[in-house]
Structure 1
């Protein structure tokens, strides 16, 4: 009998940590299709969720898949391919796509570029981005304000 109350309390904890459920509840008088058409493009939130699934994947120069590892532009190319967006496997070439975005207008899913276009990542919000940094490291989250990234920041693009 001690098992049932423990399961109930775990369910309550899980439910209390899932604010997305409340946001997805139907709104009286509004059809789901109307909500979808009024929402921003799914790629912004969707890309971040996909990218987060690869945290910890090893860096590999020239890599563009989770089985072999990723370099920075290969990681972005792979993540965006999951939503049907084809990108080149080169940070400088990726910088030439989309529209420029100022740092204060960044949105999740925007691409951020550093080091004379030698490195890039995907902005996830809150001043942070996800990327595959260098040999010996893994896909991880870093801050735009971190010393090296702040001093080598080039700009951002919205696809």
Structure 2
């Protein structure tokens, strides 16, 4: 398939005006305004890899690494190493993120668990309904299924 046959159907669907707002650079489609989303995705993917690299690190209340973590300490550490600053607590992290519907969540987004009293836990979304997190005293950083429907999602800006 040539570039001409690829672009022609695109022109027909998008319309000439919309198509002119797009540019193809080195085989990558660039959309105005998409730079921030691409940067956030790269940062989130790096934070996810960093959190996964801490598998087996013991839980310790108030710890934010590099060898022991509580839940918000793991997210703080992972995003800091990926180049973004987050506040210390899960609740403050929730307030700092862009809130998303579940259908829009991506790898590396934060998953916040809540009750009537507010946010009580946070992890990093790893796909397939799972998170990396530091769950509780006596446990270690691990990959686990999301166990509750009382969750919210947030993207670090």
Corresponding residue for 1:14?
Answer: none
CA contact (8 A) 2:106 2:125 kept: yes
CA contact (8 A) 2:107 2:126 kept: yes
The structure carrying a bigger strand percent of its residues is: 2
Corresponding residue for 2:151?
Answer: 154
Map 1:129-148; keep pairs closer than 5 Å.
129-144=131-146, 146=147
Q: Distance in 1 between matches of 2:154 and 2:27?
A: 33
Corresponding residue for 2:49?
Answer: 49
Q: Secondary structure at the match of 2:62?
A: coil
Map 1:6-155; keep pairs closer than 5 Å.
30=26, 40-41=38-39, 42-67=42-67, 69-115=68-114, 116-144=118-146, 146=147, 149-150=148-149, 153-155=150-152
Unaligned runs of 5+ in 1: 1-28
CA contact (8 A) 2:79 2:85 kept: yes
Q: Secondary structure at the match of 2:96?
A: coil
Q: Distance in 2 between matches of 1:58 and 1:126?
A: 24
Report the TM-score, using the length of structure 2 for normalisation.
Answer: 0.70
- Which runs of at least 4 in structure 1 moved beyond 3 Å after TM superposition? none
Question: Cα RMSD between the aligned structures?
Answer: 2.2
Q: Distance in 1 between matches of 2:81 and 2:141?
A: 17
Q: Secondary structure at the match of 1:70?
A: coil
Q: Secondary structure at the match of 2:38?
A: coil
Query: Alpha-carbon deviation of 1:84?
Result: 1.7
Report the TM-score, using the length of structure 1 for normalisation.
Answer: 0.69
